Structure 1
Amino acid sequence: MAQHRRPRTTALALGVPLVLAAAGGLAHGFLPGSQPAASAATTAAPSWATATADGFASVNALGQNGTYGGRDGRLVTVKTLADLEKYATASEPYVIVVAATITMDPVGKEIKVQSDKTIIGSGTFGQIVGGGFFLGAGVHNVIIRNLTIRDAYQGVWNDKEHDFDAIQMDGAHHVWIDHNDLRHMADGLIDVRKDSTYVTVSWNKLSQDNKAFGIGWTDNVVTDITIHHNWVRETEQRNPSTDNAAHAHLYNNFLEDVAGTDINSSYGNYSRGATRMVLENSWFQGFKNPVIKDSTASIVQKGNTFVATSGRNESGGTAFDPKTYYAYTLDRTADVPALLKSGAGPRGSLGTTTTATTKAAATTLTVAKDGSGQYSTVQAAVNAVPAGNSSRVVISVKPGTYRELVKVPSNKPHVTIQGTGSSRGDTVIVYNNASGTPKPDGSGTYGTGGSATVAVEADDFQARNLTVSNDFDEAAHQDIAGQAVALRTAADKVFLDGVIVSGDQDTLLVDTAAKEKLGRVYMKNSYVVGNVDFIFGRATAVIDKSVITLKKRWNGTSAGYVTAPSTAANRKGILIANSTVNGDVSSASFYLGRPWHAGGDATLDPQTTVRNTSLSAAIKSAPWTDMSGFSWKDDRFAEYKNTGAGSGAASSERPQLTDAQAAGQEIADWLGDWTPSAA
């Protein structure tokens, strides 16, 4: 049986909601780091704030015309449990953007949501830990979207004592549950109970739970429900269990029981009592008893696919035609697994606010080597940014190679350096200092940190669509120390989006302004190239959806270390997720990491986690090693569900996170109250 961790009991994020009045009574909140529009009348509500449900939740009934949530109210952004509860339980309508990981206190708390609410996660960073939401009798017109709700599990698999659901409704109507990731709860993930009706559940991931989704629990045959495009995996029962539903329309769902895991399905879609169910174009993989029904219930099956299933697969009776209630379009059954693996769960495009007026408010400085811009060097543009600037400055750099040193000082936050070429490689900032390179003024050598081609010391920095490189010629300069940093960050909220950071030894230094200060770095859709300790430092850093390219040393040999964290004991270190590690080097020649106790500091607790990442054969079977007398086993090094020739099973030399541990080592756990967004 999978093991689950007890959730934390303190909130990870602090903040106050941001509420701005707008014309016509509609208000718009802006995420941290963005600027409000000069006039609310010039801004339009983002499409996700006015979205309406499909399926049965779209049907006009019980005095409610479809399901549109809080679109007629104000938009607020919340980061704390107190603020989330304040707005979710209010009598007036709200669009509530959850922009942090919020931990329920006490564990198992379910916020009693009132009518006319949209609760939506900001990008992929809105998370509810250790509890969920409750919609009571008469509550209506509620949308819950784009959230991760997880980890109320209390250590008992078939828990009869704790009714800690992700989303529970008792007598509610017109509810849309969409694009959520629901897992690791103490009872069920979704309960639609006590005559709740006009409900649509779409595009969600439901996983790692005993009971996934229960519907019914009265003798009344009332509930009308649509369940489409959900990925249900590694759940034992109620997938869903549908009891006495007047109309249950299930289509384009993907039910997956992964072979060889501790969680095994007991049944899939279950039609109980007087339920009438239509089940269309769904894919069942590895499930026991994939479709079952009571003798009194009906199931009409159309176009479903069953792979490696066993046991009962039943249909019979008469049902209904869903198109008499609402329009819908079926996807091909063969497309369902891939469609849902890529499309179910929270989306980065939902719950984020970047308006046209917000973009217009930014100052743009242009750089071009040929003199066609305002400046011919990047550093000249940085120098032109006023000290203490309070709004975004975009330094737009035309294609070319800029051989220079660039430093963004701490008193110039909110700077973006962005290449304007068609690819990352068109705009290159490069220099060749190493740690042992003598300074021109004769005051010594640069040292590792001082060797950086680009040094970022200002908070809320972004780099996009360019290359930062250190091309120090190690072969020609064996007489001096060869640590040569391409990019050094020593700030908080550094967003590296679509960049290449290239060097040999010590390529990417993710640092903080001081040992006691937090420094968060988020890199996505990027490349990091190097060979020795080439992702290193004490920052809380995420490498997401990127390629880490292993490079041979100056003499043609293959040997190296990907990471060298020097994390403080109470901080998160380096997280590599959803990425690829490869390169033209020898098999079994690279370690994933080693502990850097900078300055021999024994109080440090270095951390690297590599998860959901493809590892080439270049990675050693024992991928961690000691450094400077410090054992990696005394610090924090682990993997989770990596793939590829360089991955391996758990052993004393290769720690693997449990599912419960992995639930606490996700991107949002690293970034806390910060939601990176393009600016």
Structure 2
Amino acid sequence: MSENHGKARHRRRSTALVAGVPLTLVAAGTLAYGTVFGVFGEDARPRAAAAAPAWAAETADGFASVNALGQNGTYGGRDGKTVTVRTLADLEKYATAAEPYVIVVAATIDMNPVGKEIKVASDKTIVGSGTSGQIVGGGFFLGSGVHNVIIRNLTIRDSYQGTWNDKDHDFDAIQMDGAHHVWIDHNDLRHMADGLIDSRKDTTYVTVSWNKLSQNNKTFGIGWTTNTTADLTIHHNWFRETEQRNPSTDNVAHAHLYNNFLEDVSGTDITSSYGNYARGNTKMVLENSYFQGLKNPVTKDATAALVQRGNVFSGTSGRNESGGTAFDPKTYYSYTLDKAADVPALLKSGAGPRSSLGTTATTDTGTKAAAATTLTVAKDGSGQYTTVQKAVDAVPVGNTARVVISVAPGTYREVVKIPSNKPHVTVQGSGGSRKDTTIVYGNAAGTQKPDGSGTYGTPGSATVSVQSDDSQVRNLTVTNDFDEAANQSLSGHQAVALLTQADRIVLDGVIVNGDQDTLELETAAKDKPGRVYIANSYVTGNVDFIFGRATVVVDKSVITLKKRWNGTSAGYVTAPSTPGNRKGILINRSTVNGDVSAGSFFLGRNWHPGGDTTVDPQTTVRNSTLSAAVKSTPWSDMGGFSWKDDRFAEYRNTGAGSGSANADRPQLTDAQAADQEVADWLGGWTPGA
């Protein structure tokens, strides 16, 4: 990317640091090789129940585990076939079927029309595949008599039409009218037009556990009936930025609430009006929950009974009530309480979809999924191929199973390109260290092509180009060794080591070496997504050396600053060109250092390619260690555009190069930081192997 600065065009000022919604990601220290996206093709196909993974056999706890109404606990569709769905038509087909099914949702499914609620039949498990299962703009309805249903590990979101209490758009995430034996577990429910969960008309024997409920008005309503028959267990749920009904329980015979975290963050658009509410003839037991910043955290009607034990209230105000005689939950089922003080940390890390749930390990025939194909590369001829590119060329076009190209230790001086029609490719060094295997070349943007057709340009200079979705680079070094000092007369010193132009890319345990424009992170086209997860890696460079329009997480890595060709210290770590509606570059839990002068490097500058006024560049650096090399004013203008009109911020960085908030060094608030975590960047994708 050029260092030249051009004249800015008129552009609307962007005032928000971020527009996003929080998710929680379980990040494994070491990523195993495999995929969380299922093993089926585009059309859903069933497989034998005998081969079901362990999670498909799990059953509910709490009141949903109680034998009653002719139903022995809640186990969903475990006795039926397992199908993987990626379309609304397939989801509705299997969810409404008479026979039992385990339905794995392995994609984002948009409801049409907005507000649509699929009428789920009995004996169903509907589960997200890892964190990739999302339902957008609608939800599920369980009618009278529907029973034995598990809704698990899904993100259900965004039917909100812009007006709280909008009776014309009564769209719920999960609505139950007269159902029984339902388990709602490990979901992310948010931003719906009406309730996130509505349990009405004598719905009973329900357990709601380990969910994240956020950004909503009427969050969780129970009852709305003159009968006092319902039994519900609500435990280990994180209610965050929810105005009311957290939950509200009306005429509930037995409501057992424990180890929940109710959080109202100050300075946001949503303010709680009350927390847990016992109404009518409800009997409620409320144990070891944590209330943070809520108004009226616990309220009860004069006719209701509410027993409190072991709860923590921090920064709350208003009504906090209890009284009467309720019941002993252990009469109905066994359970173990966590300490209330541990609940916030426990739920921040554990609520919501899990990468370990909903992943499929077998094919539709009940046999094991095809193992990843391994192609071997060795310079000495002991492998199948002597160059990495020859192995890439051998990968079938349109391959659907992972192909691992295992590269023996050595230095491979070549240009490698994984084309867009060969997804699921892993290029992996087989040595004991990422330093053992190196792919290196020395093209620059201004280098003439051998065929005389012109120069390579910046993307074309890359030593390794990854243009296919779901591909990975692991345990090796990628270098561009273009010699700037020896080529001062050349126009165009940008020299990319590694280029990505695809979605769901993993760079794990790699070293990426270069000077200017080391690591270019793009998308296949401006309107296409391009998520890249970089972990346990090293990236070196000096000018704009992590750049592009992709959505990028640099996690648990080291960013090494290098002096320039003439020995001077000056440069920029990032140069995002993020589209206005996307996430940009997130540097998280990483270190920025190098053998350069103090105060000589910016963390980033805002790149508007060709003066593009539609982009909204974004870099967030958080929870990282910054050396003294980082400037006290860490952001810079580029091309005549002010960085202050774009999205640049820090959060809780440490080290000599960190600093406190001021006009030239914006810091995220805790509330903003909660919406700028790794999972928010990855958008429902869990990096697998």
Which TM-score band (shorter chain)?
Answer: 0.7 to 0.9
Q: Following the alignment from structure 1 to structure 2, what is the Cα–Cα distance between the partners of residues 140 and 649?
A: 54
Q: Following the alignment from structure 1 to structure 2, what is the Cα–Cα distance between the partners of residues 590 and 111?
A: 51
- Give the partner amino acid of 1:266: S
Q: 1:595 aligns with which of 602, 607, 611?
A: 607
Structure 1 residues 206 and 274, CA gap change in structure 2 (3 angstroms): same
Structure 1 residues 553 and 409, CA gap change in structure 2 (3 angstroms): same
Counterparts of 1:228-247 in structure 2 under 5 Å? 228-247=235-254
Structure 1 residues 676 and 184, CA gap change in structure 2 (3 angstroms): closer
Structure 2 equivalent of residue 116 of structure 1: 123
Q: Following the alignment from structure 1 to structure 2, what is the Cα–Cα distance between the partners of residues 29 and 386?
A: 20
- The question of 1:430 aligning with 2:437 is answered no
Deviations 1:327-351 (A, max 9, x none): 2222222221111101111122222
SS state at 1:583 partner: strand
Q: How far did residue 619 of structure 1 move?
A: 7.6
SS state at 1:336 partner: helix
Q: How far did residue 522 of structure 1 move?
A: 3.1
Higher mean C-alpha displacement, 429-438 vs 283-292: 429-438
Q: 1:406 aligns with which of 406, 416, 419?
A: 416
Structure with more contact order per residue of length (Cα contacts < 8 Å, sep ≥ 6): 2
Q: 1:576 aligns with which of 582, 585, 608?
A: 585
Q: Following the alignment from structure 2 to structure 1, what is the Cα–Cα distance between the partners of residues 653 and 667?
A: 17
Q: 1:341 aligns with which of 345, 348, 352?
A: 348
Q: How far did residue 233 of structure 1 move?
A: 1.3
- The question of 1:186 aligning with 2:193 is answered yes
Higher mean C-alpha displacement, 369-378 vs 476-485: 369-378
Q: How far did residue 259 of structure 1 move?
A: 2.5
SS state at 2:64 partner: helix
Structure 1 equivalent of residue 54 of structure 2: 47
Q: 1:321 aligns with which of 303, 318, 328?
A: 328
Q: 2:266 aligns with which of 242, 259, 278?
A: 259
Structure 1 equivalent of residue 4 of structure 2: none
- The question of 1:558 aligning with 2:553 is answered no
Q: Following the alignment from structure 2 to structure 1, what is the Cα–Cα distance between the partners of residues 620 and 97?
A: 40
SS state at 1:188 partner: coil
SS state at 2:559 partner: strand
Structure 1 residues 158 and 458, CA gap change in structure 2 (3 angstroms): closer
**Gapped regions of structure 2 (runs ≥ 5):** 1-15, 21-35
Q: In the alignment, is the contact (CA less than 8 A) between 1:624 and 1:653 conserved in 2? A: no
Q: Following the alignment from structure 1 to structure 2, what is the Cα–Cα distance between the partners of residues 170 and 344?
A: 26
Q: How far did residue 407 of structure 1 move?
A: 2.8
Structure 2 equivalent of residue 382 of structure 1: 392
RMSD: 4.2
Q: In the alignment, is the contact (CA less than 8 A) between 1:610 and 1:642 conserved in 2? A: no
Q: How far did residue 182 of structure 1 move?
A: 1.2
Q: Following the alignment from structure 1 to structure 2, what is the Cα–Cα distance between the partners of residues 43 and 502?
A: 49
Q: In the alignment, is the contact (CA less than 8 A) between 2:379 and 2:412 conserved in 1? A: yes
Q: 2:101 aligns with which of 89, 94, 103?
A: 94
Q: 1:366 aligns with which of 376, 386, 389?
A: 376
Deviations 1:477-516 (A, max 9, x none): 4443321111123456544455443433222233466x58
Deviations 1:33-71 (A, max 9, x none): 79999x967982122333221111111111111111122
Q: In the alignment, is the contact (CA less than 8 A) between 2:297 and 2:316 conserved in 1? A: yes
- Give the partner amino acid of 1:150: R
Q: 2:428 aligns with which of 410, 418, 425?
A: 418
Q: Following the alignment from structure 1 to structure 2, what is the Cα–Cα distance between the partners of residues 621 and 6?
A: 24
Structure 2 equivalent of residue 509 of structure 1: 520
Deviations 1:52-109 (A, max 9, x none): 2111111111111111112222322323333322322222222222222222233322
- The question of 1:64 aligning with 2:76 is answered no
Q: Following the alignment from structure 2 to structure 1, what is the Cα–Cα distance between the partners of residues 223 and 676?
A: 33
Q: In the alignment, is the contact (CA less than 8 A) between 1:35 and 1:358 conserved in 2? A: no
Q: Following the alignment from structure 1 to structure 2, what is the Cα–Cα distance between the partners of residues 309 and 249?
A: 22
Q: In the alignment, is the contact (CA less than 8 A) between 1:251 and 1:280 conserved in 2? A: yes
- Give the partner amino acid of 1:248: A
Higher mean C-alpha displacement, 461-470 vs 170-179: 461-470
- Give the partner amino acid of 2:222: I
Q: In the alignment, is the contact (CA less than 8 A) between 1:36 and 1:358 conserved in 2? A: no
Structure 1 equivalent of residue 205 of structure 2: 198
SS state at 1:226 partner: strand
- Give the partner amino acid of 1:163: D
Structure 1 residues 64 and 463, CA gap change in structure 2 (3 angstroms): same
Q: Following the alignment from structure 1 to structure 2, what is the Cα–Cα distance between the partners of residues 44 and 231?
A: 33
Q: In the alignment, is the contact (CA less than 8 A) between 2:515 and 2:542 conserved in 1? A: yes
Q: In the alignment, is the contact (CA less than 8 A) between 1:298 and 1:317 conserved in 2? A: yes
- The question of 1:394 aligning with 2:404 is answered yes
Structure 1 residues 566 and 308, CA gap change in structure 2 (3 angstroms): closer
Query: Percent identity between the aligned chains?
Result: 64
Q: In the alignment, is the contact (CA less than 8 A) between 1:129 and 1:151 conserved in 2? A: yes
Q: In the alignment, is the contact (CA less than 8 A) between 2:576 and 2:618 conserved in 1? A: no
Q: 1:520 aligns with which of 526, 530, 538?
A: 530
Higher mean C-alpha displacement, 363-372 vs 57-66: 363-372
- The question of 1:606 aligning with 2:615 is answered yes
Q: Following the alignment from structure 2 to structure 1, what is the Cα–Cα distance between the partners of residues 79 and 649?
A: 43
Higher mean C-alpha displacement, 319-328 vs 443-452: 443-452
Q: How far did residue 368 of structure 1 move?
A: 4.7
Structure 1 residues 487 and 354, CA gap change in structure 2 (3 angstroms): farther
SS state at 2:84 partner: strand
Structure 2 equivalent of residue 467 of structure 1: 477
When normalised by structure 1's length, the TM-score is 0.81
Structure 1 equivalent of residue 7 of structure 2: none
Structure 1 residues 387 and 653, CA gap change in structure 2 (3 angstroms): same
SS state at 2:55 partner: helix
Q: Following the alignment from structure 1 to structure 2, what is the Cα–Cα distance between the partners of residues 80 and 640?
A: 37
Q: Following the alignment from structure 1 to structure 2, what is the Cα–Cα distance between the partners of residues 424 and 285?
A: 45
Q: How far did residue 203 of structure 1 move?
A: 0.6
- The question of 1:167 aligning with 2:178 is answered no
Structure 1 equivalent of residue 12 of structure 2: none
Q: In the alignment, is the contact (CA less than 8 A) between 2:37 and 2:106 conserved in 1? A: no
Q: How far did residue 559 of structure 1 move?
A: 2.9
Structure 1 residues 521 and 52, CA gap change in structure 2 (3 angstroms): same
Q: 1:147 aligns with which of 151, 154, 157?
A: 154
Q: How far did residue 225 of structure 1 move?
A: 0.7
Structure 1 residues 350 and 594, CA gap change in structure 2 (3 angstroms): same
Paired residues, number: 641
When normalised by structure 2's length, the TM-score is 0.80
Structure 1 residues 616 and 559, CA gap change in structure 2 (3 angstroms): farther
Deviations 1:510-567 (A, max 9, x none): 3466x588473432435444443334446x5443646573624413423325134386
Higher mean C-alpha displacement, 166-175 vs 179-188: 179-188
Q: Following the alignment from structure 2 to structure 1, what is the Cα–Cα distance between the partners of residues 221 and 173?
A: 12
Structure 1 equivalent of residue 32 of structure 2: none
Structure 1 equivalent of residue 3 of structure 2: none
Q: How far did residue 178 of structure 1 move?
A: 0.8
**Gapped regions of structure 1 (runs ≥ 5):** 8-27
Q: In the alignment, is the contact (CA less than 8 A) between 1:35 and 1:391 conserved in 2? A: no
Structure 1 residues 345 and 374, CA gap change in structure 2 (3 angstroms): same
Deviations 1:98-128 (A, max 9, x none): 2222222333222222211212222222222
Deviations 1:182-228 (A, max 9, x none): 11122222111111110000111111222221111112111111111
Structure 2 equivalent of residue 10 of structure 1: none
SS state at 2:299 partner: strand
Q: 1:549 aligns with which of 559, 578, 587?
A: 559
Q: Following the alignment from structure 1 to structure 2, what is the Cα–Cα distance between the partners of residues 152 and 664?
A: 22
Deviations 1:420-445 (A, max 9, x none): 45665554433333334456777765
Q: Following the alignment from structure 1 to structure 2, what is the Cα–Cα distance between the partners of residues 358 and 155?
A: 47
Q: How far did residue 179 of structure 1 move?
A: 0.9
Q: Following the alignment from structure 2 to structure 1, what is the Cα–Cα distance between the partners of residues 284 and 410?
A: 62
